[in-house]
């Protein structure tokens, strides 16, 4: 896990330090989310190791309200590489839902996968599609740009047989569509 982290973002803190920060935040009542970016050439064993560390901390603190898997976008980056396939993303997402059964919400990524795969995530374990962003710069800078409106998002969710709702960061429903 840290092997990939050192290669991709050597100036960021390593796993144990991040887990310690999250544990401290959770100990004072601050909830958070955890993410896993796939597509850096990591192995399936490294993905599972990542989930296991988050899962163990969740068992201890209960402080993660959501887990979000998204894919590295290699365009316009010095790292380069190939895009992760939708199939690999969906297999990983389904495994995440099963493995991370102690995290209440699993978010699918329409931002990196587009609306069609985003919709499918709702049948592969995700119960959330995230937000409609006013401005998203990281994925866009890497060359991926999907658009989403409120109406389009509601239609995507309905098309998956689910009931669309607007929520806040604490997953309180603000409005149903």
Domain ranges of the chain: 2-176
> Could you tell me the pLDDT band of residue 84, with boundaries at 50, 70 and 90?
confident
55, pLDDT greater than 60: yes
pLDDT, tens digit (0-9, with 9 covering 90-100), for 119-156: 999 999 999 998 775 554 544 544 556 677 889 899 99
The mean pLDDT of the chain is: 88
CATH topology of domain 2-176: TIM Barrel (3.20.20)
Is residue 46 a contact partner of residue 4, using CB atoms and an 8 Å limit? yes
Model confidence at 163: pLDDT above 50: yes
DSSP letters for the chain: -HHHHHHH-TTS--HHHHHHHHHHHHHTT--EEEEEEE-SS--HHHHHHHHHHHHHHHHHH--EEEEEEEE---TTSSS--PPPPHHHHHHHHHHHHHHTTTSSEEE--HHHHHHHHHHHHTTTT--B-----S---HHHHTT------HHHHHHHHHHTT---EEE-TT--EEEE-
The structure tokens listed for 173 are 């429903």
Give the per-residue pLDDT at 5.
81
Higher-confidence position of 3 and 101: 101
Instruction: Report the pLDDT value the prediction gives residue 4, as an integer from 0 to 100.
Output: 82
pLDDT at 142: 46
């Amino acid at each position: 896990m840290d092997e990939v982290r050192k290669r991709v973002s050597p100036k960021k803190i390593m796993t144990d330090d991040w887990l310690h920060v999250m544990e401290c935040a959770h100990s004072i009542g601050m909830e958070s989310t955890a993410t896993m970016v796939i597509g850096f050439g990591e192995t399936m064993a490294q993905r599972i190791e990542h989930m296991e560390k988050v899962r163990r901390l969740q068992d201890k603190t209960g402080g993660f309200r959501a887990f979000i898997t998204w894919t590295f976008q290699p365009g316009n980056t010095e790292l380069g590489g190939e895009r992760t396939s939708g199939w690999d993303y969906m297999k990983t997402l389904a495994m995440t839902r099963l493995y991370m059964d102690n995290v209440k919400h699993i978010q699918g990524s329409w931002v990196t996968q587009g609306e069609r795969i985003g919709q499918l995530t709702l049948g592969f374990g995700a119960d959330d599609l995230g937000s409609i962003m006013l401005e998203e710069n990281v994925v866009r800078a890497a060359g991926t740009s999907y658009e989403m409106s409120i109406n389009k998002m509601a239609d995507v969710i309905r098309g998956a047989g689910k009931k669309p709702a607007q929520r806040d960061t604490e997953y309180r429903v603000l409005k149903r569509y």
